[in-house]
Amino acid sequence: MNLRKLILILLFGVSTVQVWGQTKIVINDSTYANIELRVYAYENLLTHKKKQIAQKKLNNKGEITFNLPIKESQLLYIPIYSFRLVFYAEPNKTIYLKMPKRTQLESAFLQLKSYNNREIPLFIAPESTLNQAITQYDKEYNLFLKKNFKKIYKRKNGTQYIAKIKELATHATSDYFASYATYKEAYLEYVSGKRYELFNAYFSEKPLLLHNTAYVSLLRKLAKELAIDFAQKLKEIKDYQYFLRAKTYSNLTNIANRLGKTKDKAFNEHLFIYVLYSGLQQKLVAKHLVLEKLQIIAKHSPYNSNKSLAQSIVGQNKETFRGAAAPPFSFKATNGKQSEAILKTGKPTIIAFFDSSVNNQESIANLHKLQQKHKDSFQVVVFSCEKTLKNIPKAWKQFPIPYYSYIIKDYHLGRFPYYILVDKDGNIAKQTWQQYLISLEK
């Protein structure tokens, strides 16, 4: 080994310099000129807990390249207006996104003006990508299933149809797609009525997949039914007491193995996590018990996929919008001043989001009267969508923003008008703005 390489190892702890999973996402669409876009991934497809992985502003021609550290093929999305533009990203690939025209998205949004995160699949170039493979496969698969669903269900046998389905998967060779197609085939067996048989046939001794949509979709269906049975068993005093007293990882492993009934302990635990999560979602099992068991798994599981999945569920249920620091923003107000530290003035703030295309004067007047009545106990910040609102009190700070501004999503807006209370320390208040105003009246 030469001296130069030895020095690199001593300095950086590596013998070779390699950048893994650098995926390039390229956008070139003039209708997005000068707009800031974010890219999100999911920690896993069970909880759909999001994580922002990039944010950049497009140039004045609508061009941008995101360099993303993608380790495995997975679903990503770009949120804009009330939509999530979804696509599959593969490691070490350059993906050219064919974005829908922004004017078309805006037109569709204006019909509802509801921020409900509807998904829109994106078209990708080149045509040989995972996106095209799954899109084409799903199109043919869904037609086949629609034609044969009743036959499979009534005959209680999906095996004879799988050979035909396998023919649909011959046009792609990626590992992700191969697994995707396998679990779509397994769904035929599910339709035919098979349940526990699927665990040994398709899941046991196989990789635990956190980002494969077909894998997660099928396992969620199976876990949902098991969660109902599991909750029923907990009504028996003996079973409930055992579950309640399961305070060690060993205890939980025993429960998981009895539940999964396979030789694969990693999968049995994986399934148990799904069942606990489904029980939580369906309100079949007490939340504090589910989180207690998952915390034990998250701390002691030797299986990284299970550890991260349990951690994700626990984290998702501990995170709260109320009580957290108010999302920062940096805009220039109509009075020409920047917005930094605007929420840390030593008094509560009511943030109001108004749609400038409708009449907001009554709402503005009523809020102003309350502010005057209580001698400016709180300040008011207004985000006016698309246009500056007239007749805003001079003491209020107004920020005109577009409908696609990320500040709308950061503050969890659903519909207009929308109000939220920020406490004097700059945190989202735990009480609602209505509760706060009522408290001032007392």
174/40 Cα distance (integer angstroms): 23
Angle, CA of 290, 293 and 297, to the nearest 5°: 130
What is the structure's pLDDT at 3? 44
339/342 Cα distance (integer angstroms): 5
What is the structure's pLDDT at 157? 78
Q: Which CATH class is domain 349-441?
A: alpha beta
Question: Contact, 84 vs 117, CB < 8 A?
Answer: yes
What is the structure's pLDDT at 292? 96
Q: Rg (Cα) of the chain, in Å, rounded?
A: 26
Alpha helices in 72-174 (DSSP H): 102-112, 130-155, 159-166
What is the structure's pLDDT at 85? 96
Domain extents in the chain: 3-126, 132-318, 349-441
33/27 Cα distance (integer angstroms): 10
Report CA dihedral (209, 213, 216, 221) to the nearest 10 degrees.
-160
352/420 Cα distance (integer angstroms): 7
**pLDDT tens across the length of the chain (442 residues):** 444 443 333 333 443 334 456 899 999 999 999 999 999 999 999 999 999 999 999 999 999 999 999 999 999 999 999 999 999 999 999 999 999 999 999 999 998 887 888 899 988 876 668 888 898 899 999 999 999 999 888 887 778 888 888 888 876 678 999 999 999 999 999 999 999 999 999 999 999 999 999 999 999 999 999 999 999 988 888 888 999 999 999 999 999 999 999 999 999 999 999 999 999 999 999 999 999 999 999 999 999 999 999 999 999 998 788 889 999 887 766 665 656 567 777 899 999 999 999 999 999 999 999 999 998 899 999 999 999 998 899 989 999 999 999 999 999 998 899 999 999 999 999 999 999 999 988 7
Q: Is 428 exposed, middle or buried (0-12, 13-18, 19+ CB in 10 A)?
A: buried
Helix (H, G, I), strand (E, B) or coil at 35: coil
What is the structure's pLDDT at 321? 87
Which residues have C-beta within 8 Å of that of residue 17, sequence separation ≥ 6?
A: 8
Q: Is 273 exposed, middle or buried (0-12, 13-18, 19+ CB in 10 A)?
A: buried
Q: What are the backbone dihedrals phi and psi of residue 393, each rounded to the nearest 5 degrees, phi first?
A: -50, 140
CATH of domain 3-126: 2.60.40
What is the structure's pLDDT at 412? 92
What is the structure's pLDDT at 308? 97
404/385 Cα distance (integer angstroms): 9
